[in-house]
Amino acid sequence: MPTTEIQKTLEHQFVSELELHQNIVHKVCTLYTKDKEAHNDLFQEITIQLWKAYPKFRGEAKFSTWMYRVALNTAITQYRKSKKKVDTYDYDSVIFKVKTEEYDPTEEQQLQLMYSAIRELGDIDKALVFLYLEDKDYREIAETLGITEVNARVKMNRIKTKLRTIINP
């Protein structure tokens, strides 16, 4: 196969995989940005970084596992304009809307409080919470961030306590 053909196949493979797993990237973008424009910018940058790293991917890990790493790394290292107003979001991100019909009022309020607390966390803490919510085990969380498993656990417990005091003052 000529090089351009290989390139095309590779690109098709990549775009299809990303299309399938794009939720992961969207979730990272919703956590790390505050408006639609920034969300799309970050999505694009993550896509570029994924595509650049794709030839090295070679199926060693699951595509989705590898995506978590590149997406979070991009979000953590990317330069972003910090908004002065922290409390107001001009973009009502879908993920932070609690579906009223499904929950009782106390639960709904608790969830809302926890989501806004997570938004205020630092980039690293956010990454920890994100991986936790995505049901990753501590080994994977530790490997993704480059810390020890014990310390990932300790840190996550601290964040948990912090979130609990926010909803049960």
Q: What is the largest CA-CA distance in the chain?
A: 65
- Integer Cα distance of 75 and 66 in angstroms: 14
Contact stretch for other proteins (CB under 8 A) within 1-9, 21-29, 83-91: 21-29
Dist. CA 117–CA 159, nearest whole Å: 10
Is residue 164 at the binding interface for other proteins, with CB under 8 A as the rule? yes
Can you spell out the DSSP letters for 136-167?
Answer: --HHHHHHHHTS-HHHHHHHHHHHHHHHHHHH
Q: Which lies closer to other proteins via its Cβ, residue 79 or residue 87? A: 79
Closer by beta carbon to other proteins, 88 or else 157: 157
| Interacting positions 54-93 with other proteins (CB under 8 A) | 56-57, 66, 69-70, 72-74, 76-80, 82
Segment interacting with other proteins, rule: CB under 8 A, options 1-9, 40-48, 83-91: 40-48
Q: Is 42 exposed, middle or buried (0-12, 13-18, 19+ CB in 10 A)?
A: buried
Q: Which of 64, 21, 61, 26 is nearest to 43 (CA)?
A: 26
Instruction: Give the number of residues written for the chain.
Output: 169
Which residues of the shown chain bind other proteins in the complex (CB under 8 A)?
11, 14-16, 18-19, 22-23, 26-27, 30, 41, 43-45, 47-49, 51-53, 56-57, 66, 69-70, 72-74, 76-80, 82, 94-95, 97-98, 107, 110-111, 114-115, 122-125, 127, 132-135, 143-148, 151-152, 154-155, 160, 163-164, 167
